[in-house]
Amino acid sequence: MDARPIRSSRLELVSLGPDVLDRLLDRRREEVEAVLGAEIPEEWPDEHDSRFLRRRLDQMRGDPESQPWLVRALVLDETGRMVGHAGFHGPPGTNGPGLPDAVEVGYTVFDRFRGSGYATEAVRALVAWARERQVGTIVASVAPGNEPSLAIVRKLGFVQTGEQWDEEDGLELVFRLDGAAST
Ligand SMILES: CC(C)(COP(=O)(O)OP(=O)(O)OC[C@H]1O[C@@H](n2cnc3c(N)ncnc32)[C@H](O)[C@@H]1OP(=O)(O)O)[C@@H](O)C(=O)NCCC(=O)NCCS
């Protein structure tokens, strides 16, 4: 398993393993900051993200090898601050439309850090990392009113292929980025 950080020009995408997720869910933020060497916003994880991290932790417990495909902290080189998180829903084959070899990307940039291109940069780095691991198709599911996220997937060359209903997030537009598309 290769859970080393992924690099982009301004960010390090640091894989969050089970120990770190456990501590985050236990509100032991200072310990996590010491392990990551990054400053984490006081209010994180909120209720929504705690549910999300719990799901990722359960996935990792069920399949420890899935860790590199799951959640990563986005740490800004310049300040050492965590500005958000990004990753895939799971290893190849884990994606909303159920495509056998595809991965689905997910990303969040904390409010105060938005509008600086961090999400775009992180998704680009994740796509390149997946490509190096022979993943052909990347999926993204975006709510129809989520303009910033729609702007990101369109800018990166994703193409809308359908719609789906998500238990938590409601209606989502499903996008795909296939093999040869440039990012
Ligand atoms: C979506 C999200 C990750 C974007 O993070 P970010 O770091 O601000 O994103 P970026 O700066 O890389 O790109 C945002 C793009 O949206 C555009 N944008 C922002 N608000 C917009 C709006 N109201 N209408 C149209 N475009 C908009 C920006 O101009 C930018 O595009 P550009 O680089 O071509 O100018 C962030 O808003 C977020 O965390 N939202 C909540 C979680 C979420 O929705 N995640 C995605 C789930 S699919």
Give the CA radius of gyration of the chain.
15
Confirm or reject: Cβ of 107 under 6 Å from ligand 1. Answer: yes
For 2-32, the pLDDT digits (tens) are 999 999 999 999 999 999 999 999 999 999 9
Using omega within 30 degrees of 0 as the cis cutoff, is the peptide bond preceding 18 cis?
Answer: no
**181 pLDDT above the threshold of 90:** no
Mean pLDDT (whole number) for 179-183: 54
How far is the centre of ligand 1, averaged over its atoms, from the C-alpha of 146 (Å)?
Answer: 8
Residue 146 Cα: closest atom of ligand 1: 44
Phi-psi region of 20 (alpha: psi -120 to 50; beta: other; left: phi over 0): alpha
Task: Give, for 170, the enclosing helix (H) or strand (E).
Answer: strand 170-177
- Report which protein residue has its CA nearest ligand 1's atom 33: 117
Nearest CA among 72, 127, 85 for reference residue 104:
127
Is residue 183 pLDDT above 80, yes or no? no
**Which candidate, 95, 90, 70, 79, places its Cα nearest to that of 16?**
70
Residue 182 has pLDDT above 60, yes or no: no
Nearest-atom number in ligand 1 for the CA of 172 is 48
Q: How far is the CA of 171 from the centre of ligand 1 (A)?
A: 18
Dist. CA 12–CA 142, nearest whole Å:
24
pTM score above 0.85: yes
Which top CATH class is 6-177? alpha beta
CA atoms 14, 173, 94, 177: torsion sign: negative
Q: For 107-159, write each residue's pLDDT tens digit.
A: 999 999 999 999 999 999 999 999 999 999 999 999 999 999 999 999 999 99
